[in-house]
Amino acid sequence: MEIRIQKKDDLLSILLEGRFDAFGANQLDAVLKEALEDGVVRAVLFIMDGVSYLSSAGLRILLSTYKQMQKRGGVMVLSGVQVYCREVIEMTGFAGTFPMVDSPEEAEAVLRQPSAPEKPKPVGEEKCSVETGDYCFVSGSEDSCAAEILGDIRDILHSRVTTERIYSKRFFDKEYSIGMGGLGAGLEDYINLLGEMITIGGTMVWLPTDGHDTADFLIPKTDQGDVMIRTGFNVSIKGGVNEYVYFKSATAGGTPVGALYRELFSFAKKRRPDFRGALGLVIRAQLGAVYGSGIKKSAVTQNAPANGKMILHESNRGEWFDGDTAPRHTRVTGLIVGIGADLTADLSDYDEEDFNRVFYMHPANISGKEEMLHNHAVIFNEQPLPQHPTRLEEEIHRVIEQGTFLDMRHLLDSSTITEALIGIHYLQAFRSDPEGVPLDQGKAEPMPEIKKSQMRYYQG
């Protein structure tokens, strides 16, 4: 790696070019030791436009420089970080710590900030007690989160999914998504079985509409072939969790999911200028009562209701949905992916067409509602819940490893939550999921076949 340094007053500018690998890190370490020795430097600027590669050894040097500057009340800024290097920084969680700018000129603005150096954002913790319960908020990533959509909920609600309206999407183990879909190599394997589906914590669960009302719980082994999800409608939450919440209900039996969303909307309106009206949630919950609903038939054209009304219409509902009137489960643990829109909020920041692909704003669909929610939950026997909000992702994995899988359901809003770790994504946009391909296009290359033997496979 080529290293050029320039010292001016208390500013040390370092121009790097080449590979910031273990070898480059060693070179830089020696240069930095000498340059920082006299204790004058209060600002370090790394100009990295020419750096094509960064490894953990490079990160280690950046971190130790950052810490030294912190101790002196100084700053460190990275300028012109290229795409792969940026990914490494983001992947390892340093993106929120190291200020990154596009050019040295821009860096000056950060560097000139008098004596109050850019500190790592303290993990802000805010506790609120309201009628529904206690909430402890901890700030998370500053990602601009989005809901990415394949297909269209309206095709489901009108039961008009056709083979042209099925999409294939590679299973991605860090994905949080919900939708209506199936698994299988050939169209005949799933087209008539499309059911509720969720991906969370490296697993995928679906409830095939095969009449058995039994969910399949699948952990694809990532080292064996690719697993393709076939879907007529799917929403993925993209971006890191913006805010973590620990929630404890004020009611022994728990707070209904609908009321919990309303409370989170109300907090968001007061606390978050970036709230646009819709939230994507990932929840590791203790559920007091689970009221589920499952679609009974595949929402394909040949099943479309004869009366031309939506499948949710009261004349069709009974034939299409199993809705629980008594709790299906009590005192269980749930992993939930949900997306909710506050219908009392101004939703005009969102692309109308894409928004409608998730929340069909048709009068017959929204009448009298204050919010529209889609929540799918994977249900396990009750597992202990630590009260640490930022443990969310880790906890999800622990439940999957240690819990006994019971069920998967579309949650009715009346289901109750007694205690939960919640990851909130303040959705900035609704847009098409670029990862999915229409099935007929996908045919150009043969789809890898999915075999049950490629997965850890459970049945409830």
Partner 1 sequence: MINRLNEFNFIPIPADEKALETARQFVLEQAERLNLPAPIIFKIELALEEILVNVVHYAYPPGTTGVVDVGCLTDEAGISLCIADSGRPFNPLEKEKPDLDIELEERQIGGLGIFLTREMVDAIEYRREQDRNIITFTIRKP
Under the rule (CB under 8 A), what is the footprint of partner 1?
Answer: 21-23, 26, 53, 55-57, 59-60, 63, 66-67, 84, 88, 91-93, 97, 120, 123, 222-223, 390-391
Distance from C-alpha of 322 to C-alpha of 296, rounded to nearest angstrom: 7
SS3 97: coil
**Residue 30 vs 123, nearer CB to partner 1:** 123
**Minimum distance from residue 221 beta carbon to partner 1 (Å):** 9
Q: Which residues contact 444 (CB under 8 A, 6 or more apart)?
A: none
**Minimum distance from residue 377 beta carbon to partner 1 (Å):** 24
**Residue 120 vs 384, nearer CB to partner 1:** 120
**Residue 69 vs 341, nearer CB to partner 1:** 69
Environment class of residue 309 by beta-carbon count within 10 Å: exposed (0-12), middle (13-18) or buried (19+)?
middle
**Residue 127 vs 174, nearer CB to partner 1:** 174
**Minimum distance from residue 92 beta carbon to partner 1 (Å):** 6
To 5 degrees, how large is the angle CA 351–CA 168–CA 217? 105
Q: Are 216 and 184 in contact (CB under 8 A)?
A: no
**Minimum distance from residue 21 beta carbon to partner 1 (Å):** 6
**Residue 134 vs 393, nearer CB to partner 1:** 393
Distances (CA, A) of 61 to 24, 154, 199: 10, 52, 37
| 222-236 per-residue burial string, b: 16 or more CB within 10 A, e: under 16 | eeeeebbbbbbbbbb
Distance from C-alpha of 296 to C-alpha of 1, rounded to nearest angstrom: 62
**Minimum distance from residue 237 beta carbon to partner 1 (Å):** 19
**Minimum distance from residue 220 beta carbon to partner 1 (Å):** 12
**Residue 241 vs 290, nearer CB to partner 1:** 241
**Minimum distance from residue 285 beta carbon to partner 1 (Å):** 20
**Minimum distance from residue 393 beta carbon to partner 1 (Å):** 9
| 100-128 per-residue burial string, b: 16 or more CB within 10 A, e: under 16 | bbeebeebbebbeeeeebbeeeeeeeeee
- Estimate the crossing angle of helix 22-36 against helix 56-72, to 10 degrees: 20
DSSP secondary structure code for residue 313 in this structure: S
The amino acid present at 200, given as its one-letter code, is: I
**Residue 23 vs 369, nearer CB to partner 1:** 23
**Residue 84 vs 457, nearer CB to partner 1:** 84
**Residue 60 vs 369, nearer CB to partner 1:** 60
Both tokens assigned to 386: 């630590």
The amino acid present at 228, given as its one-letter code, is: M
Q: Are 450 and 227 in contact (CB under 8 A)?
A: yes
DSSP secondary structure code for residue 309 in this structure: -
**Residue 50 vs 318, nearer CB to partner 1:** 50
Distance from C-alpha of 425 to C-alpha of 340, rounded to nearest angstrom: 11
Distance from C-alpha of 258 to C-alpha of 96, rounded to nearest angstrom: 32
**Minimum distance from residue 447 beta carbon to partner 1 (Å):** 16
**Minimum distance from residue 121 beta carbon to partner 1 (Å):** 10
Q: Are 377 and 411 in contact (CB under 8 A)?
A: yes
